[in-house]
Amino acid sequence: MNARLNFNFPCPIRFGPGVIDELADHLINQGLKHPLVVTDPVIAELDFFIDILEKLRAKNLAVDVFSEMHKNPVKSDVLKGGGHYHDSVCDCIVGIGGGVALDVARAIVLRVNHHRDLFDYDDLIGGDKYVTEDVPYFVTVPTTAGTGSEVGRSAIISEDESKKKRILFAPKLMARQVFADPELTMELPPHVTAATGMDALTHNMEAYLAKNYHPMCDGIALEGMALIAKSIEKATHHPDIQSRSDMLLGSMMGAVAFQKGLGVVHSMAHPLSSLLDTHHGLANAVNLPYGMAFNYKGFEARFDKMAEFLGVIDGDGERVVDYLFELNQRLNIPTQLREIGVKEEHLNPLSQLAIEDFAHPNNPKPVTLEDFRSLYHKAF
């Protein structure tokens, strides 16, 4: 896995070790001179990010950086970023980072020429109909193998006060070019690699089970599961370029697949981020076995197929839940909510937020408020 490859699905992707070195020439070839580079405050201080900026500036690109964002991004982060773009007279946006940075970058792309209240563009209330103006040229550079936001068309941004998550969506928000360089993920610490990797696995599994009919997404999700299952432990504990490449591909595949929908696990995870500021990947990882156990009955054939691609013994779908618990343990991820700061008094408000979440309507079976209460208590 040392080759540099081009994939054109769902948008142009330049993939392979070292492709980040092509970023400056790509921008210049588009006639661009002044990128706003959007990243999170942690990445903004890292050596590899500083090296990227130096290489851009060495090609006489005027670079501005915006990194003022919360761990779970909120509306005011996006408004500040949009103001920075205009004040600095930038001509394009480069998002570098994981899901947080790329969500904020994509929302800024929307904000630049769309001036209604940001949440008027919420996809769940038909806000995509207002996305009518041109948007800046947009490049994404993933630094984790988790959300797959680099190939997405949406951004999840929370309300500042309530922390309710809103979805900004439009085909125009897809990156014009992705530079997916597995070398940028090599220095991720094990706990981040594990949590973001389980996020990617959750995307693939929930997409495969989602009730909408989309056989193309199903096929992508299954192969994404296979890539992640064979590489996540090595990428976490003994990373090499092959395992990191497989994880990056599996992450992007999950993001493509979940246009079909997500499910109960994400609806359990989102409130943990909103209420307790829990890392999204960690929240998905802890809840994944419980959500899959809830979905098993009635969907045994789908679980058998997942078991086959995950490498579960005998392809037995009934063993998938145990496999997930064991995988979390091997990755040093907690298996109970109490281990990540959840207290018993949080369970009812978490359940209320979960039933209001946008993901579970696509779950293969209906989920009630009582179901969420039961699931949280089991996971607690």
CATH of the domain at 157: 3.40.50.1970
Confidence at residue 118, expressed as pLDDT on a 0 to 100 scale: 96
At 113, the amino acid letter reads N
Query: How many residues can be counted in the chain?
Result: 380
- Tens digit of each residue's pLDDT (9 = 90 or more) over 312-353: 988 899 999 999 999 999 999 999 999 999 999 999 999 999
Rounded average pLDDT per 10-residue block, the chain, 380 residues: 88 96 98 97 94 97 96 94 97 95 97 96 93 97 94 92 88 96 94 96 98 96 98 97 97 95 97 91 97 97 97 93 98 96 96 95 97 97
DSSP letter for each residue of 291-347: HHHHHHTT-HHHHHHHHHHHT-GGG-GGGHHHHHHHHHHHTT--SSGGGGT--GGGH
285 with 170, same domain: the answer is: no
238 with 112, same domain: the answer is: no
25 with 133, same domain: the answer is: yes
Q: Indicate if the alpha-carbon torsion angle 288, 293, 295, 298 is positive or negative.
A: positive
At 348, the amino acid letter reads N
100 with 197, same domain: the answer is: no
194 with 166, same domain: the answer is: no
216 with 324, same domain: the answer is: yes
Counted domains in the chain: 2
345 with 224, same domain: the answer is: yes
Tell me which of 167, 184, 201 is where a domain ends: 184
- Tens digit of each residue's pLDDT (9 = 90 or more) over 75-131: 999 999 999 999 999 999 999 999 899 999 999 999 999 999 999 999 989 999 999
Tell me which of 184, 210, 237 is where a domain ends: 184
Domain of 90 in residue numbering reads as: 5-184
CATH number at residue 215: 1.20.1090.10
Q: Are strands 12-15 and 5-8 parallel, antiparallel or unpaired?
A: antiparallel
Confidence at residue 314, expressed as pLDDT on a 0 to 100 scale: 87
Tell me which of 184, 210, 239 is where a domain ends: 184
150 with 207, same domain: the answer is: no
CA distances 21 to 36, 184, 274, Å, are 18, 11, 36
263 with 145, same domain: the answer is: no
